[in-house]
A = this chain, B = another copy of it.
Amino acid sequence: MSLSDKNILVIEDDPGIADLLRLHLESEVGQLGFESNGTDGLAAAQTGVWDLLLLDLRLPGISGLDVCRTLRAEGHTLPVLMMTAKTGELDRVLGLEIGADDYITKPFSVIELLARVRAHLRRADLVSSAAERSVEGGPAINLGEVEIDPRTRVVRVRGESVDLTAREFDLLLHFAAHPQQVFRRSQLLDDVWGYGHEGYEHTVNAHINRLRAKIEKNPRKPELISTVWGVGYRFTPQSTVEVV
């Protein structure tokens, strides 16, 4: 697994440790965010799209525990790795009970921290790719006008069955598995074409174009797969209700 496209947020008030983490993570990771207090940290966690949160327990403003608790209460599922100077067993347990996924005490070994970070990111990938695979073998997906049967790889749009090529099908299935979500071209290259696939983002355009030609009512005015200018594409299932 590569960390190069992973976004990690660090909430830590000790500049020394923050620098240490920056030093070791910066080169390996995609985006690396730093916040030094609980209030800004929570906001950053809520607004950004992060793959992992490294969270100090002792923080000015909101405490690490509360940051974690709040995120979980709001339904965020991102992995949280707590760091703390406290060594008491009770603190460790409390952190885990509150919704953190892991706990490491300062002074920690950077190598071990990195290993744990990788372990969590790996698990997230494992789970999401397993979920994708379960969709592949699962029952038919019915999204308004579009009906997809992953087993037979048959797609029907507004009752008509359409022939899709392998790539087109994978692309559509990926969109259908994450409706409304906006994907950047680079993300689609990773998710549909596979990791580290060398190729132009423009390739995605071409396939979107072909897919639209096959499933859109009017390919000039796409409704199912819409363009998000400056970002990427989004799949919006259309209700099958007739507008007469």
Interface residues of A (CB under 8 A from B): 40, 43-44, 46-49, 72, 74-77, 79, 89, 92-93, 96-97, 99-102, 109, 111-112, 115-116, 118-120, 122-123, 126-127, 130-131, 134-135, 137-139, 141, 148, 150-154, 165-167, 173, 176-182, 228-231, 234
Contacts and interface: CB of A to CB of B under 8 A. Distances in A.
Nearest to A152: B180
A138 B75 contact: yes
A181 B49 CA distance: 21
A158 to B, nearest CB: 20
Contact of A150 (B49, B116, B120, B152): B49
Nearest to A148: B47
A99 B123 CA distance: 8
4 A-B pairs with least C-beta separation: A166-B230, A47-B177, A96-B115, A93-B115
Given A74-B139, A96-B115, A111-B89, A150 B79 contact: no
A89 B112 contact: yes
A100 B139 CA distance: 18
Contacts of A46: 139, 141, 177
B48 A177 contact: yes
Given A47-B141, A152-B181, A177-B48, A97 B115 contact: yes
A162 B234 CA distance: 16
A160 B222 CA distance: 23
A125 B16 CA distance: 36
A77 B47 CA distance: 29
A7 to B, nearest CB: 11
Contacts of A182: 151-153
A75 B130 contact: yes
